[in-house]
Amino acid sequence: MGVVDDEEIILRASYDPMHWKKSKIQSSFVRASHLLEGELSVWRSSEKSGLTVSDVMLITDGVAPPGNTTKQLHGPLAREIRGLRNPSGDRLFCVVDETTTDEAGGHHPAHAHIRLCDVQRASIAGVSDPNFEWARQRLILLMKQPATTFPRP
């Protein structure tokens, strides 16, 4: 499918009950290790991918961890993710075409990854690096904005 265009909706799933437990304690839907490794799994909704948000929800239901269903899709535009900057004004993230969906060799043409830009990645010491945590939290906040959230109908 090729390069992810700026106007594509980039969808990250949060699952019930994995990310929506009965208690007030939730698990993060942006795992630090996945983001640091450049493998934060997302899906593309656009004319280019030929998928609507509802189509993506069917896909994420299909790949959900056992016993889970998609509760919400968090979907900013690729342009908004690429526009996130660190306090120094440097770009934080890339959105890259990556059809590999899991370690078992699954593929899907509308799959992509969010990863740190190379310059950022080179300066990050690890998951406990405050600058990395700041970047992760900035991304989570973007994805939590009501305007970019698609709940299950």
Partner 1 sequence: MATRPIWDETQILPETAHALFADAEGLQTLWGNIDQAIWNTRSKQRGARTQETRRQIKAQYEHTAYADNVIDLEAHRSSAPQLTGWAATLERLIIEVGRIQDGWDGPGSLAPSSSVQRDFEAALGVLPGSTAEPEIEIDGSTGSITVRWMNEIAASAAVLTFMGDGHCIIMDFNPARAGSAPIICAVHDETKILDMLDATTFGSLLPAIA
Give the binding-site size for partner 1 (rule: CB under 8 A). Answer: 30
Nearer to partner 1, 24 or 104 (CB): 24
Query: What whole-number distance in Å separates Cα of residue 4 and Cα of residue 83?
Result: 14
Among residues 62, 125, 147, 153, which is the contact residue for partner 1, using CB under 8 A? 147
Closest CA to 71 of 133, 117, 18, 114: 18
Least Å from the CB of residue 6 to partner 1: 21
Buried b (16+ CB within 10 A) or exposed e, 27-53: eebbebeebbebbbbbbbbbebbebee
Query: Which residue carries 């950022």 as its tokens?
Result: 120
Nearer Cβ to partner 1 (87/105) = 87
Nearer to partner 1, 25 or 122 (CB): 25
Is the CB of 54 or the CB of 85 nearer to partner 1? Answer: 85
Under 8 Å CB-to-CB from 17, ≥6 apart: which residues? 67, 68
Amino acid at 128: S
DSSP class of 133: H
Site string for partner 1, 60-89 (x = CB under 8 A): -----x-------------------x-xxx
Cα–Cα distance, 65 to 87 (Å, whole number): 35
- In one letter, which amino acid is 149? T
CB of 11 to partner 1, least distance (A): 17
Per-residue binding string, partner 1, 9-48, x by CB under 8 A, is ---------x----xxxxxx--xxxx--------------
Shortest gap between Cβ of 78 and partner 1 (angstroms)? 19
Q: Which residues bind partner 1 (CB under 8 A)?
A: 18, 23-28, 31-34, 65, 85, 87-89, 127-128, 130-131, 133-134, 137-138, 140-141, 144-147
